[in-house]
Amino acid sequence: MDQLRTRYNSLSFRGRLLALLVAVSLIQATVAAYTFFQLQSKPADQRIQAQLNAGISGASPVIDARIAASSARLEQLTADPSLKQAIDAKNWAMVTSLLAASAPSDAADTAVDDTVDTTAGAYVTDSEGKVVSGTRPAGALIEQDGRTSARVEVEGALSATIHVPVAIDRAFLVAQVAQYVPKGVDIFVADEHTVVSTDAKVSASADPPSGLRSGQHTIQLGGEEQVINARPVVDGSVLLGAMIPEQVAAKQRHSGLASLWGFIALLTVLGLFVSWYVTNAVAQALRKFSDIARDLAKGNLARRIPVTGDDEVAGLATSFNDLAENLELRIDGLIDAEARMRRQVDLFGEALANATAVGDMLQAVCSLAMESAHASHARFWTIDDDGRYEHAASIGLRPSDTEPCGLEKAVAVRNTSVRSQGEPHWLVVPSRMMDGQIVGLLTLVSTGDDFSADDVHVAERIAVQAAVALDNARLHERLRLQATRDGLTGLPNHRSLQDELTKRLAEAYAGDMPVGIAMMDIDNFKRVNDTYGHPIGDEAIKAIGKTLSHGIGGMGMVGRYGGEEFVVIMPGCDSDTAMRIADRLREDITHIEVPLDDGGILKLTASFGVANVDQQHPGTRVDNAELLHQADAGMYNAKRTGKNRVELAGPDTQAIEMSEVEKAKLAARERGDVAGEQAAAAALETNAPTDPAPYDPFDLAA
């Protein structure tokens, strides 16, 4: 190191400048290489994460359905008095017979399909945990006390435990779960002893590795590095996860690096050339200036550097000559500048009134107050309607640093500025609205001189302006939420859906990823409103919104498109996956029960239209309007062909139009006119079919 420093000091100024510029250029090239690499790999990492999340979101409802079936069967077994008597008598043969008799009737069918019936493998263990009736199923077992197992006690002591676990093996994952998972993603389920996966090599491997845990990470599974994302099932003893081979993920991350390195090389060469050019220019200018300044060094301040030419050196000499003459003027100017700064506080306060980001605005308030009142520390407390304090912004103070002697409480009582005695000096100023309500407190600390009356006055003016700005910011936040959320369901509204779809389409085309949407309309909703009233209709809309939001989870967005129409955005899902998800959502809606005023139950169905960017013609890109139009055409055809259906639509999909007689039949059915519906049906049998009319999306009969 010393030898390197000696060689550097032995260089001329020109050589040292060149060395520094070259070093800076190399550092910039290195930083650029690292930055571009991160920018290159980030979309790939996001794509991988989206695929893994979509895999887990697709598999979770199937697993949850199996757990619910096991819970239902456990409840049936625990309610059977014959089984309870057999267990009390320790008649294990009778227990085995009762367990077999209670097995689901479709067990044989599931065996033919080479899948596992997770509700058939019931067994009983004694008080020591030994299996005394039935057989413990193979595979990964999902068990939870009270949900898939129940204790049987005799006179307060444990006699036996009934188990109805959910057993997961590879055949079940391949047949029942893989269809809801994006292509290229494998699903696995792991308990403390077993790993079961759609990947045969992973299912055939030994016990789960010790590093297998929740979250996204890389681990060795099935003899290969895998990028996995796992989350706990039930109580956390079992993990459900999705995985992609690390080599596949690495290939996505490093695509396009050849062009990146070429750009870095070009950037390095350009930096070296600029370094050489700047070194020559600076060296020549300094040489000329040093020759002139050497003569000035032999005299006094009255001497001036002769100015020749109009280049940078001449400008530097002129500035030096003006320095002495302007020194006194500059001092006077600083005094005037301080007075002007104090006058600008009011103007700055007006600017704060237009601020909308609370944190940034209050941080600016603290900075201005410190500068204007000659403080060394500052903090701003906000106060809500219930009188609770919140640490909103600070410079040099922590939330745990408290004002001495309860100054903030004194301000709240007196509604006036309060100062402390002794050092350091504290000043607490109320931030009041025009009606006198205190919405915050401005705290200033001076470790030097005490605050003057002028400092207190300036701080009070700033605090008043901050109150106005704080009120505006809170109002802006309320308006923003009202503008982006549907008032009935709380879901994103039409505008938010359009913004989200624009964003997802841009990401899809930039990262070569699929994205699908589903447009949904409640079947016969006009009849619901006409029959039961709009309050029941509103309850139906809220119930469907809640069901869709729960069903899609975190893998996409659900929003209310308008009226009884909803839109589901599914990033990372190809058309097959989007269709399966939409059909699952359709099935979920059929289970909704809306209570009626007369004690009855309203059941609902819905029709879905699905559109996906991977359905488009090669080389074409669709915008929001076109993709929504395709989904709308699919939804229309779903209604036209029977309702309570899911239809996939593409750019060539033609909407099926009703004849006038069919429209009349549908209208009669909607208003409950049986005779009118029968008459229209008879007319359909006698009249020859007519060519469909052009599709009208605003036809209310559809």
DSSP assignment of 559-607 equals EEEETTEEEEEEET--HHHHHHHHHHHHHHHHT-EEEPTTS-EEE--EE
d(CA 229, CA 193): 19
- Are 477 and 498 contained in the same domain? no
Among 109-123, 154-168, 181-195, where is mean pLDDT lowest? 109-123
d(CA 656, CA 21): 71
Looking at the DSSP bridge assignments, the partners of residue 134 are 123
Is residue 554 domain-resident?
yes
Q: Are 445 and 424 in contact (CB under 8 A)?
A: yes
Is residue 663 domain-resident?
no
- Are 241 and 148 contained in the same domain? yes
Q: Are 243 and 52 in contact (CB under 8 A)?
A: yes
- Are 90 and 234 contained in the same domain? yes
Is residue 94 domain-resident?
yes
Which residue range is the domain that position 243 belongs to?
Answer: 1-298
What pLDDT score was predicted for residue 414? 65
Looking at the DSSP bridge assignments, the partners of residue 595 are 601
d(CA 284, CA 382): 59
Residue whose tokens read 């809170």 = 474
d(CA 389, CA 176): 54
What lies within 8 Å, CB to CB, of 337 at 6+ separation is: none
Give the tens place of pLDDT for each residue, 37-73.
665 556 777 888 888 898 888 888 998 898 888 888 8
Q: How far is CA 459 from the centre of its chain?
A: 40
Is residue 419 domain-resident?
yes
- Are 46 and 77 contained in the same domain? yes
Domains contained in the chain, number = 4
What lies within 8 Å, CB to CB, of 224 at 6+ separation is: 201, 245, 246, 247
Which of 140-149, 385-394, 550-559 shows the highest mean pLDDT? 550-559
| Residue 471 reports pLDDT greater than 70 | yes
Is residue 64 domain-resident?
yes
Is residue 390 domain-resident?
yes
- β-bridge pairing 515-522 and 389-395: unpaired
- Are 323 and 294 contained in the same domain? no
| Residue 116 reports pLDDT greater than 50 | no
Residues 577-598 have a mean pLDDT of 95
| Residue 138 reports pLDDT greater than 90 | no
28 is written with which tokens?
Answer: 């910039």
Q: Are 488 and 560 in contact (CB under 8 A)?
A: yes
Confidence of residue 203 (pLDDT cuts 50, 70, 90): confident
Three-state secondary structure readout of 641-663: CCCCCEEECCCCCCCCCCCHHHH
Strand spans (E) along 298-453? 377-383, 389-395, 418-419, 425-432, 438-446
If one compares 191 and 205, the residue with the highest pLDDT of the two is 191
- Are 580 and 592 contained in the same domain? yes
Please, what sign has the CA dihedral across residues 360, 366, 367, 368? positive
d(CA 690, CA 665): 16
Looking at the DSSP bridge assignments, the partners of residue 593 are 603
Q: Determine if the pTM surpasses 0.75.
A: no
310 is written with which tokens?
Answer: 């109009």
- β-bridge pairing 157-163 and 215-221: unpaired
Give the number of other CB atoms < 10 A from CB of residue 568.
28
- Are 276 and 201 contained in the same domain? yes
What pLDDT score was predicted for residue 104? 73
Is residue 675 domain-resident?
no
Please, what sign has the CA dihedral across residues 536, 538, 541, 543? negative
Helix residue ranges, H only, 380-518:
407-414, 453-484, 494-511
What CATH number did the domain enclosing 382 receive?
Answer: 3.30.450.40
d(CA 48, CA 264): 27
Give the number of other CB atoms < 10 A from CB of residue 631.
29
- Are 284 and 402 contained in the same domain? no
Torsion angle of the four alpha carbons 278, 281, 285, 288, in this order, in degrees rounded to the nearest 10: 140
Give the tens place of pLDDT for each residue, 277-317.
777 766 666 665 566 556 556 555 565 666 666 666 567 66
| Residue 581 reports pLDDT greater than 70 | yes
Residues 446-469 have a mean pLDDT of 86
- Domain termination residue (choose one: 342, 372, 404): 342
Confidence of residue 694 (pLDDT cuts 50, 70, 90): very low
Peptide linkage before 424 cis (omega within 30 of 0): yes
Closest by Cα among 375, 365, 427, 415 to 396: 375
- Are 273 and 315 contained in the same domain? no
- Are 387 and 534 contained in the same domain? no
Is residue 489 domain-resident?
no
| Residue 593 reports pLDDT greater than 70 | yes
Helix (H) or strand (E) holding 244: strand 238-245
d(CA 461, CA 463): 5
Give the number of other CB atoms < 10 A from CB of residue 334.
9
- Domain termination residue (choose one: 298, 313, 330): 298
Query: Of all residues in the chain, what percent are helix, strand and coil, respectively (each to 5)?
Result: 50, 20, 30
d(CA 583, CA 577): 10
- Are 223 and 172 contained in the same domain? yes
- Are 363 and 327 contained in the same domain? no
221 is written with which tokens?
Answer: 């599974």
What CATH number did the domain enclosing 650 receive?
Answer: 3.30.70.270
